Chains A and B, each alone.
Chain A
Amino acid sequence: MKGFRDAVWLPPLLSFLGLTLALEVWLWFADIPSYLLPRPAEVFTALYTEGADLTRAILRTSLAASTGLLVSVIIGVAAAIGLSINDWLRRAFYPYAVFFQTVPIIAIAPLLVIWLGYGLKTIIAVSFIVSVFPIIANTLSGLLSTDPALRDLFRLHRAGTLTTLVKLRIPAALPQFLTGLRIASGLAVIGAIVGEFVADDYRGGGGIGTVVMVAIKELNTPKVFAAVFMAALLGLVFFALVNLLGRLTRRHWHIAETRE
């Protein structure tokens, strides 16, 4: 059974089960009311009884988050490539990219509602704003840090800027891009949830963010925790997918990559 013991998912699963059990036991004896801190058993019950609503909601949020992430990738990579071509362009426009990182999204989101209206497109916009900067920053860093010897090689053979970009700098920047994507994926989920707080069209129940808000208002704390758990799970799934993507594309890259 050596293979089983070495499985990557085993330690975190065990620690999760252990902590949950400990929490359950402690809360069983402690006198904390359910609406303040529900027992894990109550949260799992809520996951089961509200399963349909939670699943519908999380799927809706995943749609917004994945679209937001996709837009971030497209615009982020394009921006990084643009910024990498010209020194002056980079100095002139990089600060605007930083703006995406530092702007308090809670303040911007209502403005987005005014400009874009309510509904999925605004939620995607929030998800994009929150997740685009890591992609720009990391991809740009990768594009700028190409091995100078390789760049010399291309120059020697009189390769143009575009050729060097496409055949050398972009492939060389892939590991850094993936790092940025990993960070951005979690942020895209958070952005989608924050976007829902402000802009969700929730007649059919809304996304997981709205479900959290409604459950809070209804003092249904087990459901709040269940919804938060689903949101965290979504973040984990995104993370795992990006890692998988990394593994697939890095087949013949440097051998000494750390496993996550």
Chain B
Amino acid sequence: MPINPGREIRLLRLLFTLLLLCFLPILPPLMAGCSGEQGQGPAGASAPVLQQTALQLNWVPEPEFGGYYAARETGAFAAEGLEVDIRPGGAQSPVEQMVAAGQVEFGITSADSLLMARDRGVDLVAIYAGYQSFPEGIMVHASRGLKSLAEVFKGGTLAVIPGTPFLKLLDREYGLGRMKVVPHDNNIAPFLQDPLMAQQCFVSSEPIVARHAGANPQVFMLSDIGFNPYTGVVFTRRQTLEAHPERVRTLVRAVRRGWQAYLADPEPANRLMHTLNPTMAATTFAEASLIQAPLIRGGLADDQLGTMTLERWRNLAELLQGLGIIQGIDPDQAFVNP
């Protein structure tokens, strides 16, 4: 290599570098395209062709997703011309990011997370509400004889997933000054060990496990103090909504039928989910589906299952804004009832 490259060579190097820099912006969209959208059906065949798509769950297969497995098993998806790959999730599955990046067309999340994502500029839209009533609460030991949620915060430890939106609400309403606030792990042992432990719970999950372990839990539902986001919400990108409105409609119809079937008889779907998630006992599946049923239905008729109101979304948005969790609100853009 010459110590003093000639002027022409230096110029060529500069041009080459600039050219390279110009090509770099093309790479990310290319990469996104590769992990790509599904939904293109195979072209012109004589037999009925099923459109392929995927639904990303935000937890492992449990009764909270019963309707989707029921929709597949009862043929509801197929009847609408869809073949849906139901993908189990786990702790901290980044479902919003996965849908936003186009890795998967549909995902499950809660309304508050959806609004937070929208606040960050991610144009996600809810299309079906799995739970009409917020199924989370604060679980304490019944032996404490607490009469209301307010009494919970007089002392002891509160275990909540860090960053959970309703934590700020609890602080505002009741003051957490006398509590130790610790991370909530997927582990019932700390609760069993500490009589003064109060922990975040999914009403059809942790209390059942605690009872089986010999404890006597009492749950204060957060919906009772006005924190009531739609949960188990099926959502997608606005892009998908605008490009494939029919697919969205048909998916929602099939999901609704699936939930109808599941609420009528959860047994077949539970059996299937148990094979996918053997760590949960079959009896627990049964108990959980029983407990969650009224929260899922929310008093709606079968053909109204999953529909959402602007009032609920607006209330939630105003609440989150008041807590400083989101800046702007456009609740009418956040959902549709296709």
Contacts and interface: CB of A to CB of B under 8 A. Distances in A.
A256 interface: no
B182 A118 contact: yes
Nearest to B157: A118
Interface string A82-110: 00000000000000000000000000001
A6 interface: no
A219 B92 contact: no
B29 A31 contact: yes
B196 to A, nearest CB: 12
A33 B100 contact: yes
B25 interface: yes
Given A114-B193, A203-B176, A31 B183 contact: no
Contact of B21 (A25, A31, A210, A216): A25
A222 to B, nearest CB: 10
A33 B24 contact: no
Contact of A30 (B24, B92, B97, B183): B24
B183 A217 contact: no
Interface string B172-199: 0000110111110101011001000000
Contacts of B78: none
A145 interface: no
B208 interface: no
B322 to A, nearest CB: 16
A220 B163 CA distance: 11
A17 interface: no
A218 interface: yes
Nearest to B178: A203
A235 interface: no
A200 B163 CA distance: 13
B116 interface: yes
Contacts of A31: 25, 28-29
A165 B335 CA distance: 74
> Main SS of the interface on chain B?
mixed
B206 interface: no
A210 B183 contact: yes
A40 interface: no
A26 B24 contact: yes
A113 B120 contact: no
Interface residues of A, number: 33
Interface in B244-278: none
Contacts of A25: 21
A16 interface: no
B96 interface: yes
A110 B92 CA distance: 17
Contact of A203 (B28, B101, B180, B325): B180
Contacts of B179: 203
Nearest to A211: B162
Given A202-B182, A219-B122, A213 B25 contact: no
B29 A199 contact: no
A206 B163 CA distance: 11
B161 interface: yes
A40 to B, nearest CB: 15
Interface in B20-57: 21, 24-25, 27-29
Interface string B91-112: 0101011001100000000000
Contacts of B21: 25-26
Given A200-B162, A216-B163, A219-B113, 18 more contacts: A34-B120, A34-B121, A35-B97, A35-B117, A35-B120, A36-B97, A110-B189, A114-B189, A114-B190, A119-B182, A203-B176, A203-B179, A203-B180, A203-B181, A206-B162, A213-B163, A214-B162, A218-B163
5 tightest A-B contacts by CB?
A217-B163, A214-B163, A29-B25, A203-B181, A118-B182
11 contacts: A26-B24, A30-B28, A33-B100, A35-B120, A113-B187, A118-B190, A203-B176, A203-B181, A206-B162, A213-B162, A213-B163
